[in-house]
Amino acid sequence: MSKKPKESKVVQVQMDKELVEKAENILKDLGLDRTTALKIYYRQIVLNNGLPFEMVPNKETIEALNEDLTHAKRYTDLDEMWKDILED
């Protein structure tokens, strides 16, 4: 009885060229290619049911999370929201 091959899916990501080159040089030193590294990363996400490392927020993120938004402007019109965002 032969196993049916699993379906696959192409994943495309656009990233900063310098970041990719630095990361891939490290992967090369480890004997890994990009595809294998991404498969490992995705498997770890599934095994951990989340990111396989702790996210430590920086000061700016902590301030944003603690910001009081009770009186923040609310939008029902997406165009109006983008107009306000892009004007800042």
Q: Per-residue pLDDT tens for 14-57? A: 999 999 999 999 999 999 999 999 999 999 999 999 999 988 88
pLDDT at 62 over 80: yes
| Domain over 13-67 is classified CATH 2.60.40 | no
Q: State the DSSP code for 76.
A: S
The pLDDT assigned to 65 comes to: 86
